[in-house]
Amino acid sequence: MEFSAAISAFLTHVKVEKGLSSNTVSAYKRDLLKFDAFARKRKLSLEAISRDDLVDFLAGLYRQKLESRTVARQLVTLRNLFRFAQTQDLISVDPCINLESPKIRRTLPGYLRLEEVERLLEQPDGKTPLGLRDRAMLEVLYSTGLRVSELIGLQVSDLDAKVGCVRCIGKGDKERIVPVGRKALGMVEKYLRQARAQLCCKGKSAASPALFVNRRGSALSRVGVWKILSAYGRRAGLHRPIKPHMLRHSFATHLLERGADLRSVQLMLGHADISTTQIYTHVVEERLKQIYKAHHPRA
């Protein structure tokens, strides 16, 4: 069987039978297409792929200077594919058996200091519809810690201004309710009153139910949010690339710095495992060490 045919069957399986999100399916597809190109060069069929081939492929990723986390994710994708192929009797032996995962170096998530967040939030021009949208969007990102996919998936009906919370759909199509701060709610209400209708009117098609829309009245894309945030980061004079996830990291770090408990932060972030949230305690500990070294006379 051609490897490309196995990819198609596997992607259909994870999308239809396992019900994985479109983002996860797209990530699987990107990873598998890389290996498909490798298999084509070696003229390998699905059944002919061996453990040595996988080792050579992963070694090639390291030679491309990819991080161990990226290589480990690629291996997880291949494990899932070959496990599926074996259960479907497409192969007799799983070549991933006894193949060790790369050791992942644990890195602390990048986050913004409070004064940097304030500078970033001040950048949008509140006198224009797009500026109002951007200010409201940045306020919501920092106030809730939403993932960018959750942000662009928000609909107007998901916001409950009276209760002060927003309903979002996270990983695995899991729904959760997240509190929204007073300042963020105020900016969103201002955007809804003064800007969103203008943006929707410019669109040629029917207005989108999305909370945050682009200049054509359609829902913003992940890339669109990334470009907007990156541009405001440069304008604010921040000396590092600003990505949407950095506001999520800042949200969690600032909560813990001010005494929030880990379990509450886990629920707000939508982490299935609290060990994922615990990385932020290391950020806080590192911050305390820096303060100690900077100010203690015998540090």
Between 8 and 105, name the one with better pLDDT. Answer: 8
Paired with 155 in beta bridges are 210
**What is the spatial distance between Cα 55 and Cα 178, in angstroms, rounded to a whole number?**
43
| Segments making up each domain of the chain, as ranges | 3-87, 114-294
Q: Which amino acid is at 159?
A: L
Confidence check: pLDDT of 142 > 60:
yes
Q: What is the pLDDT of residues 252-299, one digit of tens each?
A: 999 988 888 989 999 999 988 888 888 888 777 777 787 778 887 876
Q: Note whether 33 and 7 are within 8 A (CB).
A: yes
Active site residue 239: no
Q: What is the mean pLDDT of residues 5-30?
A: 89
Q: Could you tell me whether strands 175-179 and 165-169 are parallel, antiparallel, or unpaired per DSSP bridges?
A: antiparallel
**Class (C level, CATH) for 114-294:** mainly alpha
SS3 state at 121: helix
What is the percent of the chain where pLDDT is above 70? 96
- Look up the pTM and report it: 0.74
Active site residue 13: no
Q: Exactly one of 196, 248, 249, 254 is catalytic; which is it?
A: 248
pLDDT computed for residue 131 by the predictor = 96
In terms of Cβ atoms closer than 10 Å to its own Cβ (0-12, 13-18, 19+), residue 103 is exposed
Active site residue 171: yes
Residue 122: pLDDT band (50, 70, 90) is very high
Active site residue 263: no
Q: What is the mean pLDDT of residues 205-218?
A: 84
Q: Which CATH number fits domain 3-87: 1.10.10, 2.60.40, 1.10.3470, 1.10.150?
A: 1.10.150
Q: Exactly one of 135, 147, 249, 254 is catalytic; which is it?
A: 147
